[in-house]
Chains A and B, each alone.
Chain A
Amino acid sequence: MKRRDFVKIVGLASGGLILGCNVSPEKIVINTLEDGISFVPNLFIQLQKDGKVTIVVARSEMGQGIRTSMASAIAEDLEADWQYVSVQQATGDAKFGNQNTDGSRSIRTLLRPMRKMGAMARSILEQAAANKWGTSVENCKAENHFIVNSSSGEKVFFGDLVEEAKTIPIPSDENIILKDKKDFKYIGKKVIRGIDMEDFLHGKSKYGLDARLPNMKYASIARSPVTFGSVKSYDSSDTEEISGVEQVVQLDRLIPPAGQFFGMLGGVAVVANNTWSAFQGKNNLNIEWNSGINESYDSEKFKEKLIDRIHNTAKVVPPFKGDVTKAFNNADKVIEATYTMPHLAHAPMEVPNALAWVRDGKCDVWAPVQDPQTVRAEIAHFFGFAIEDITINVMMLGGAFGRKSKSDFVVEAVSLSQKIKAPVQVVWSREDDIQHSFYHAQNAQYVKGSLDKNGNVTGWLHRVAFPSITSSFKPMSDYIAGFELGMGFTNNPYNIPNIQIENAKAESHLRIGWLRSVSNIISGFGINSFVDELAVASGKDAIDFRLNLLGEDKISTEKSPHPFNVARLKNVLLEAKKLSDWKRELPEGHGLGVAIHYSFYSYVATVVEVSVKSEKVKIENIYSVLDCGMYVNRDAVINQMEGAAIFGMSITMFGKISTKNGTVDQSNFHDYQMTRMIDAPNIHVHLVDNDEDPTGVGEPGVPPVSAAITNAIFSATGKRVRSLPLSDHGMV
């Protein structure tokens, strides 16, 4: 077997598919590790004679620590000494398997394949040492960058085996043995040195916005205030007076083909020799817009429309379970509630940006993107380059949260570079980012539930309305898609005999997109709030009530890579009860609230302690328990959970994008606020240790936070908050 073929056999695509691309030798040399000198057993590892190991990471780094985790997974099974390890970021290329950094799935789908890459290299090095010593490979064992001869006690440095290793054939798959868990040095441990730590601490990390080329231009684009509006006319005379401005170029909207890609909004681009002049030039443009179909979008009025729709019968969707009407008729008590949340924007600290250079039939891009292969395909589609003539250099992402999956900003840069025949970096201002996002959907939910005389839940009717992400890919998609309902609604974890889920109509008037945790944010708020209301109505303790409602321990029989296991959800709830000391006496004005959520195959329980003084809410403590199965970098997982708590807090306290006349009201961090240190609570995280397969980490921490906060407010004050954010109620 050829060395390169190994990656095909191991299979890198998610879902266990075998990597299907035809890997030709010439292609390997491009942006990979082959230099004719080093030992390069596969696409991901290069060992040099001085012992340095370069590991290719093909997922995007956006704060989840994937460059460190992937490298340590390979280093683990390679038995590499961490001090020799460095990372090279892969360009967008199908040969690396699925690179879409999204859905909290990198470790879930790639931990095993990456470990096998390391184990395969280790196996070859052991054979190389055996050849060198003329002994059996059984006597040769890798240990921290050396191979040790157990019969003679001799040892040889990895780097000294490079020449010999290059001659050894790739072992067959069954001879690639992964390390035993008990021998782990990196996986599940705190890693000694984050791969990017020193660069972070000295301002040396290169984010998209830091990409530089000689004689590059900088551009800022004025886009229609109303989504999908177009330029009627513009006057750039005031712009051209700005020092540094070089050109003003109109860009037409690019509409993506149905079902894929993101296109770009179009507008008027100001090209300058520095970013600031481009910004100033943009601000000085006088543009008359054709507002188009979305000009009457008023998000407050639309909220009322959604509420009206969920108060009437809507489309009933599976699973159909029992008969809710009968349950309500026979109930001892029936309660109902309506919950709403506004649109949200991702607002990563690094704004969307891309540097593109189109020349000689080639297109090079340097950008912070979550899904470089889709970017590549999209550029090929819109601009006609052959895939191999497009290079997507994936820069560090200064936060992403789903925004940088949508590569409209790259399309803009490519389009502009093609027009002005120069390398150009399109830089979004913060105002552009807040006002032209792919927004998390504004939503409304109505839940009606019934209790029998013992306080058991007998019926659950859940009607939901929000504009679907599908609308960004397929116009007229006016109902929630199955995958969105599958994030908490149709897979409601509770054991309720009669359940009816209804999907109500909701048109989109903005670009709708996924934001960290996606519609789990909506289901997490609605379900956890309503279960709390049921617990109150039944007079039971909020945790006991949930434990009872989850029913008997059982593992779902659904077809899934990681079937839902109710015992694990109960366990995180019990752990959170312990961690938060749930039954303790609280100071005056304090309250505890709880929420649980299963998403991205992981189990989370969150308890929040609030204090409320003169109607103002302060978050005192957040206790989060995560069961994500096996994890790689323990400290990074805890950091993700802490960050998720803060992210959920920002949503709950301030998160609101609203519109009038089709135009977004908010523009920067003064009116689209984030949690700041002064509001940050103590955060306590517990990770469940078990031998389950690894599941999601980046997103699962967010969904329970909002309801845990509002449930805590209820327990502190008796006031039930059913519409977010809290700032709308004067509570922050």
Chain B
Amino acid sequence: MQTLTINGKDYQIKAPEGMPLLWAIRDLIGLTGTKFGCGVAQCGACSIMIDGVVVRSCSTMVSQGVGKKITTIEGSSDSLTALRQAWRNNSVPQCGYCQSGQLISAAELLDTNENPTDKDIDNAMSGNICRCGTYVRIKKAIKEAVELKKQA
């Protein structure tokens, strides 16, 4: 048995050896907000945070999450709150599928950088593919979230 702490809650699981966190979270625990996109850390749909650092959960072993604080899209933080508001204001999502990963990547950026430049945003977000092509809105919303977070 292993214990994963996700969004402040403990989950007991028995994961097969070598299973990436993505599948433990989705199939064993049943939190389906974290998405499968490519399986090889190319698209960012499966992004989660481990102790505040974004990882691609499709390529991160369960063992690397044990004893750490995991945040998924079902979780919350000041940055996520600001980002969600900015996402609403800008009607960012189309199909919405990649947006869990987009929000998690953006949350790490806001957590670690009070005044991200366009280049910082590009660098933080270019691991996340949006096939619907909502990049313009994501970028605008991130800038807005930076301001919302300051006001909060």
| CB pair B91 A636 closer than 8 Å | yes
Chain A residues in 8 Å Cβ range of B40: 430, 668-670
| CB pair B132 A399 closer than 8 Å | yes
Q: Which of A663-713 contact B (CB under 8 A)?
A: 668-670, 674-678, 680, 682-683
Partner among A212, A275, A678 whose Cβ is within 8 Å of the Cβ of B122: A678
| CB pair B131 A674 closer than 8 Å | yes
A197 in contact with B93 given A275-B27, A677-B125, A683-B136 (CB within 8 Å): yes
| CB pair A677 B122 closer than 8 Å | yes
The dominant DSSP class at the A interface is: loop
B-contact bits for A631-644, CB 8 A (1 contact / 0 none): 00001100110111
| CB pair B91 A639 closer than 8 Å | yes
Chain A residues in 8 Å Cβ range of B122: 677-678
| CB pair B74 A670 closer than 8 Å | no
A349 in contact with B74 given A668-B38, A670-B40, A677-B138 (CB within 8 Å): no
| CB pair A639 B137 closer than 8 Å | yes
Q: Does B66 contact A (CB under 8 A)?
A: no
The distance in angstroms between the C-alpha atoms of A349 and B100, with both chains bound, is: 12
Q: Which of A563-582 contact B (CB under 8 A)?
A: none
CB A108 to nearest CB in B, in angstroms, measures 19
CB A637 to nearest CB in B, in angstroms, measures 11
A-contact bits for B66-81, CB 8 A (1 contact / 0 none): 0000001110000000
Q: Does B64 contact A (CB under 8 A)?
A: no
Considering the complex, give the chain A residue whose CB is closest to the CB of B23: A276
| CB pair A682 B42 closer than 8 Å | no
Number of chain B interface residues as a range: 35 or more
The distance in angstroms between the C-alpha atoms of A399 and B134, with both chains bound, is: 12
| CB pair B33 A209 closer than 8 Å | no
Which candidate, A198-206, A293-301, A464-472, A474-482, is the interface stretch facing chain B?
Answer: A198-206
CB A124 to nearest CB in B, in angstroms, measures 33
Considering the complex, give the chain B residue whose CB is closest to the CB of A276: B23
Partner among B39, B103, B129 whose Cβ is within 8 Å of the Cβ of A429: B39
A62 in contact with B95 given A399-B131, A668-B42 (CB within 8 Å): yes
Chain A residues in 8 Å Cβ range of B96: 63, 196, 199-200, 205, 396, 398
Q: Which of A350-375 contact B (CB under 8 A)?
A: 350-351
Q: Which of B16, B43, B125, B133 has the most CB of A within 10 A?
A: B133
The distance in angstroms between the C-alpha atoms of A635 and B140, with both chains bound, is: 15
Considering the complex, give the chain A residue whose CB is closest to the CB of B98: A349
A-contact bits for B1-34, CB 8 A (1 contact / 0 none): 0000000000000001111101100111011111
| CB pair B27 A203 closer than 8 Å | no
| CB pair A643 B134 closer than 8 Å | yes
Chain B residues in 8 Å Cβ range of A62: 95
Chain A residues in 8 Å Cβ range of B42: 668-670
Q: Does A596 contact B (CB under 8 A)?
A: no
Q: Which of B115-152 contact A (CB under 8 A)?
A: 121-123, 125-139
A-contact bits for B36-68, CB 8 A (1 contact / 0 none): 111110110100000000000000000000000
**25 pairs from A and B in contact (CB 8 Å cutoff):** A63-B96, A197-B87, A197-B93, A200-B96, A201-B84, A204-B74, A275-B23, A275-B26, A275-B27, A276-B22, A276-B23, A280-B18, A347-B131, A351-B37, A400-B95, A430-B40, A640-B94, A642-B133, A642-B137, A643-B132, A643-B134, A669-B129, A674-B131, A676-B126, A680-B136
> Apart from A201-B103, A647-B131, A677-B122, what are 10 other A-B pairs with CB-CB below 8 Å?
A61-B95, A197-B91, A203-B73, A276-B27, A349-B43, A396-B95, A399-B132, A400-B95, A636-B91, A642-B133
